[in-house]
Amino acid sequence: MAGTGMFDLSGRVAFVTGGNGGIGLGMAKAFAENGAQVAIIGRNKSKLNTAKAELVKIAGEDNVIAVQCDVTDKDSVESSIEQVVDKYGRLDILVNNAGVNRRADEPHLLKPEDWQYVIDVNLTSIHTVTSAAFPHMKNGGRGKIINIGSMMSIFGTAYAVAYAASKGGVVQYTKSCAVAWAKYNVQVNAVLPGWIVTEMTDQFKTAFPDRYAMIVGRTPADRWGQPSDLGGTAVFLASSASDFVTGVSIPVDGGYSVW
């Protein structure tokens, strides 16, 4: 399939971490629907195979690759990028989506190892993956980097201090890279999802019914989001439509952060 006009991603190669489910897979599907060749990256091989099968239905076998990778391991990251470049000859779009959360009732109760794990996956890995991907974009004369932050990039939360800190860092990292790499025609932006139904949140309604109702009540769109709700923003930021857009963070939250 192919996109239309400035949103056409034909001939472009996208590399999506955490692309085997949730928001990452939603974005990968949108890229495939608009003509891109798509590489999905994840740790869980079974989930990768399932996600790849979904993408193959959209884009065809030759236009999808699934690579098992631990984004906290530099060697694993570099190997996965080389596999994709070896197959397709280039790398045009990077989505840094892989993320985790560890909770405690209050900040001082979060275990040090849980803090470090969240920072390593949500923030440090973005630098690792981006540093490995960027030279291919520079050599190709263009690139689009999309970092996945959160509504927690905008405001904090008592029970997810490491998550909020990591996602705040994503926004500042995005701005720094945008300033550094504009001269290479590489645009770097962030997407800040709100409450989206994914594996990370799908038990929320049952476990916390009162809070679930509060979230829906605060959201002007009057619902939780779906991974597909991120697709349009991802295609915009990955396409030539956003060539003069860099260093911005776009909330996709049904209006939750407006209040």
Per-residue pLDDT tens over the stretch 6-44? 999 999 999 999 999 999 999 999 999 999 999 999 999
User: Residue 259 falls within a domain, yes or no?
Assistant: no
Residue 54, CA atoms < 13 Å, CB-side half-sphere: 19
pLDDT for residue 242:
98
pLDDT for residue 170:
98
pLDDT for residue 207:
83
Number of domains in the chain: 1
User: Residue 39 falls within a domain, yes or no?
Assistant: yes
pLDDT for residue 64:
98
Phi, psi of 235 (to 5 degrees): -65, -40
How far apart CA 42 and CA 176 sit, in angstroms, is 26
pLDDT for residue 4:
67
pLDDT for residue 111:
98
Domain hosting 240: range is 5-250
CB 200 within 8 A of CB 22: yes
CATH number at residue 175: 3.40.50.720
User: Residue 258 falls within a domain, yes or no?
Assistant: no
What residue ranges of the chain have pLDDT lower than 70?
1-4
Sequence letter at residue 227:
P
pTM above 0.85, yes or no: yes
The answer for residues whose C-beta is within 8 angstroms of residue 46's C-beta and 6 or more apart is none
pLDDT for residue 59:
98
Could you give the 3-state DSSP secondary structure of residue 65? strand
User: Residue 256 falls within a domain, yes or no?
Assistant: no
The answer for residues whose C-beta is within 8 angstroms of residue 109's C-beta and 6 or more apart is none
Per the annotation, the verdict on 163 as an active-site residue is yes
Distances (CA, A) of 125 to 67, 99, 119, 173, 227: 16, 9, 8, 12, 22
How far apart CA 38 and CA 63 sit, in angstroms, is 6
pLDDT for residue 199:
78
Active-site residue identified among 163, 173, 212, 256: 163
User: Residue 255 falls within a domain, yes or no?
Assistant: no
Report the run of H or E that residue 25 belongs to, with start and end. Answer: helix 22-33
User: Residue 229 falls within a domain, yes or no?
Assistant: yes
